[in-house]
Amino acid sequence: MSIKTAAILGGAFDPVHEDHLALASTCLSLKLCDEVWFVPSPDRWDKTLIASPEERFEMLKIAVGDQPSFIVSDIEINMNDYRGSYVSMQHIQETYPDYHFRLLVGADSYEGIPHWRDPLHFYGTEYNGHLLLRDFELIVFGRRGYKEPDLKKHMEMGYAPLFWVGKEHGFDGTISSTAIRKALLCSSEKPCGLKNEVYEYILSRNLYKE
């Protein structure tokens, strides 16, 4: 039996928007993975989140619908403490050994990965970003104002393979959860980039209002 490749798209998803779904669809169309797993984080030390983990998980399930290659996983939420990408990826790989996992990250985050660390050691010098780069393949997606990573330099560092998704592949991510939250705060109109069903859920829970 062949091993499935799954791309892990983690984050706050506060809220999930159409660029998240477009990125996942592009990765599938480029055959960079067989499935995309949407993995919402628990409450985090590095971000002030509005919706609860359960609400963000539910919005993801609504947004994904019945697309069989899109999986919404609560594995990171159930870890309780946010331990960062490397610990999460290790846990996911150990939990699902029959899968081959790749991590989706934005071009804006890529250069900072060597300085990522476990929040339990945030004030120390125990960086683990280089271990993430060594042990897990990346799918890096374009973000406005950030260039494509230097693949040759990446490989010369002894890191695992890297795959690029950008404008030339039909993905031009311009939507942000931050902009959507601001729009929801200022207006009763549905913001661009938000699925109708997700918008209805947000209204039903009175989310993103002061």
CATH number of the domain enclosing 15: 3.40.50.620
Query: Is 84 in a helix, a strand, or coil?
Result: coil
Give bridge partners of residue 93 from the DSSP assignment: none
**Nearest residue to 86 via CA among 140, 130, 49:** 130
Residue % of the chain over a pLDDT of 70 = 98
89-103 confidence digits (pLDDT tens): 999 999 999 999 999
Residue 120 lies in a domain: yes
Q: What does the block give as tokens for 58? A: 């539910």
Q: What does the block give as tokens for 150? A: 């230097």
Give the pLDDT confidence score for residue 1 in this predicted structure. 65
Rounded CA gap, 201 and 195, in Å? 10
Look at residue 63 and tell me whether its pLDDT is greater than 70: yes
Residue 36 lies in a domain: yes
Report the pLDDT averaged over residues 59-64.
Answer: 98
Whole-model pTM: value is 0.95
Give bridge partners of residue 99 from the DSSP assignment: 4
Residue 185 lies in a domain: no
